[in-house]
């Protein structure tokens, strides 16, 4: 179940996927416990979520999946960014692994944990090639992480993008009025109940949420700029500010390095010559960026 508090969580996620996720959570949270159990049985919601796929080793190449909704602990059946980062660090430290491939199929997720997962990818690429592939889509937080790789591709029918951060607030006061209910919160200070869902959002609380969103979005843009070797001022023009891009448009804009399927990427970077070439290319880009 998605708690009502999730509406205030900072998300870096495709808006359609996030809307569906929050809508299901809001309706579920409003149901009495008895009806919630019946609804779960009717929808099969009591079944255990399928566990995310584990990394797969193919010779000197390690393929690490980044799938579903991204959260620190893997909520909603998606990838745990903490576990993902551990896999990346382990593969980077393994001298028998020559390249790391990130197989991405994610609409994004929480801002929490995304920076740390991206840092693990960026650090790993200092020692060996890390290649991300949107197979078939890589949005928002997933795009943030994928941009930290040595190279970033999207499969032929895929899409990438949806750069940006979103928060929110649920005002339940009207709903409570209709059912004859009123919630009174008592706290040690106003800050402890800031932006609570039992009254309209105040101007001060709205400004605080907006400041958090802006701060996280600036970190998002800075991460893309560093990972892709561009200026922060160039990020919006190349990666957009909420739009998604088809494979051909993303490649033409420079948001990704090209259009290749996961199979094609694995085949290409299975060669030690290709891996060495990519490392040299990225070293040259880094030197040029430092000289600017």
**How does pLDDT run across 189-242, given as a tens digit for each residue?**
988 989 888 899 999 999 999 999 999 999 999 999 999 999 999 999 999 999
The residues that bridge with 104 in the sheet, in sequence order, are 66, 134
Mean pLDDT over each residue of the chain, to the nearest integer: 86
* Tens-digit pLDDT profile for residues 146-201: 999 999 999 999 999 999 999 988 888 898 888 999 999 999 998 898 988 889 99
Q: Where in the sequence is the domain holding 234, given as residue range(s)?
A: 1-292
Q: pTM here?
A: 0.84
**Helix or strand run (H / E) with residue 204:** helix 203-228
Burial status of residue 161 (CB atoms within 10 A of its CB: 0-12, 13-18, 19 or more):
buried
Cis check: omega of the bond before 136, within 30 degrees of 0: yes
Tell me the backbone φ, ψ of residue 256, rounded to 5 degrees. -130, 170
Rounded CA Rg of the chain: 21
Q: Are strands 56-58 and 99-110 parallel, antiparallel or unpaired?
A: unpaired
- Cβ atoms 141, 12 nearer than 8 A: yes
CATH code of the domain covering residue 106: 3.90.226.10
CA–CA separation, 202 and 87 (whole Å):
43
Mean pLDDT of 129-140: 98
Q: Which of 20-24, 25-29, 244-248, 271-275 has the highest mean pLDDT?
A: 244-248
For the chain, the domain total comes to 1
């Amino acid at each position: 179940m998605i708690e009502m508090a999730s509406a205030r969580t900072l998300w870096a996620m495709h808006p359609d996927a996030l809307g569906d996720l929050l809508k299901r959570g809001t309706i579920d949270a409003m149901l009495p416990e008895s009806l919630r159990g019946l609804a779960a049985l009717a929808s099969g919601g009591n079944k255990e979520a399928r566990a995310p796929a584990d990394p797969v080793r193919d010779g000197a190449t390690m393929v690490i999946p980044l799938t579903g909704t991204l959260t620190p602990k893997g909520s909603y059946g998606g990838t745990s960014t903490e576990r993902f980062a551990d896999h990346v660090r382990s593969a980077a430290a393994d001298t028998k692994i020559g390249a790391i491939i990130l197989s991405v199929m994610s609409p994004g997720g929480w801002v929490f944990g995304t920076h740390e997962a991206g840092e693990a990818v960026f650090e790993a690429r200092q020692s060996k090639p890390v290649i991300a592939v949107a197979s078939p889509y890589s949005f928002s937080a997933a795009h943030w992480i994928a941009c930290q790789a040595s190279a970033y591709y999207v499969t032929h029918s895929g899409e990438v993008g949806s750069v940006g951060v979103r928060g929110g607030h649920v005002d339940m006061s009207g709903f409570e009025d209709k059912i004859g209910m009123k919630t009174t919160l008592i706290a040690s200070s106003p800050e402890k109940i800031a932006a609570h869902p039992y009254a309209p959002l105040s101007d001060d609380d709205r400004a605080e949420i907006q400041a958090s969103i802006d701060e996280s979005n600036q970190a998002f843009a800075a991460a893309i700029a560093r990972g892709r070797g561009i200026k922060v001022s160039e990020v919006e023009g190349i990666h957009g500010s909420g739009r998604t891009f088809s494979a051909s448009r993303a490649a033409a804009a420079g948001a990704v390095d090209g259009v290749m399927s996961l199979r094609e990427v694995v085949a290409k970077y299975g060669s030690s010559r290709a891996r060495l070439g990519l490392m040299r290319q990225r070293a040259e880009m880094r030197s040029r960026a430092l000289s600017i």
